[in-house]
Amino acid sequence: MFPYFLEVITIEEIKVLELFGGIGAIRKAFIRQKIPYRIVDYVEVDKNCVKSYNALYGAYFKPQDIVKYHSPDERIDFVMHGSPCQDFSRSGLKKGGEKGSGTRSSLLFETIRIIEEMKEKPKVVLWENVKGVLDKNMRASFFHYLKEMERLGYESKYKILNAMDFGIPQNRKRIFVVSILGQNDFDFETLKKAETRSIDDFLQKGVSDLYEVRQESMLRYLSGNPKNKNFKGRLKIIDKYAYTISTKQVRVPNSGLVDIGNGKYRYLTERECLRLMGFDDEDFDNIRAIYSKRPGKTSSILYKQAGNSIVVNVLEAILNEIYRR
């Protein structure tokens, strides 16, 4: 296995670089797994994500543009990058992420540049993205990334993982790539999985009618009106699990709707979305406190941050496999 990792676990902390850091799902996973770690740097251009990250972890980072960022002088053990997925997503414009194309998803190759700048390469690099990167017209970028990592001395393994297999009742499938410098003994098949919890554990009671669906085209669609042509999206009712949490829950409720009876439905709340991404209520309260509430309005900021994050429980399983004790 990894004698290097076993030694690190017992002697020193893992030095982590978070690229495209979002609200720090990987940091939450390190904390939950009680793996000694230290964040050497955190790179995120979205100022609201940075505010939320700082509120969650008592940090003082400022927004940083990945394109202008250069590797720290300090040795890094672990790099996490969840590069923008919009141009790979099946629900997006599918512009792709070829190196030099200028799309948001092509920013993943900035990670390659940053690793190249390092005096000593990190032992582990973890990348997460939508499963659409393996679609026929998108996979060239994906395999280009793997080739670049191989050029740098990494052996990579990848697999599509579903959050439902790690205790979270959200049908969210994402690809994870684990790259190890030198020989890669990581095994996705031995990840520690967990039975999917009841969706009732994640849904709130007595939710405000602010979250009730009132859009007529949606209601007609839900009623099964065959003549409804005004709503072009997809609507599903949450039963045993939610669907993929997206960034625009109210406008595009891909995660599904909650049936509240009498022909009425509601959207998931911001708190419920964070719960379904593996964060706890204390995390939500810490984030909620830094954004002023607008009367009669939901928080597009919190919905976006939840939708763009990574399910913490999946990351925990991956860390546990890498740094198993």
For residue 3, what are its two tokens?
Answer: 């004698």
Asked if 307 and 248 touch (Cβ cutoff 8 Å), the reply is yes
Active site residue 273: no
Strands of the chain (E only): list them. Answer: 14-19, 37-43, 78-81, 124-130, 154-162, 173-181, 258-261, 264-266
Q: Which of 117, 122, 118 is nearest to 80 (CA)?
A: 122
Given 85, 164, 277, 322, the catalytic residue: 85
DSSP letters for 27-53: HHHHHHTT--EEEEEEE---HHHHHHH
Which residues make beta-bridge pairs with 158?
Answer: 177
Could you give the CA distance from residue 45 to residue 308 in angstroms, rounded to a whole number?
13
Residue type, 202: F
Contacts 24+ apart (CB under 8 A), 253-259: 254/91, 255/170, 257/213, 257/222, 258/203, 258/207
Could you give the CA distance from residue 255 to residue 245 in angstroms, rounded to a whole number?
5
User: How many Cα neighbours within 13 Å face the side chain of 78?
Assistant: 25
Which residues make beta-bridge pairs with 177?
Answer: 127, 158
Percentages (nearest 5) of helix, strand, coil residues in the chain: 35, 15, 50
Residue partners of 4: CB distance under 8 A and separation at least 6: 123
The residues assigned a catalytic role are 85
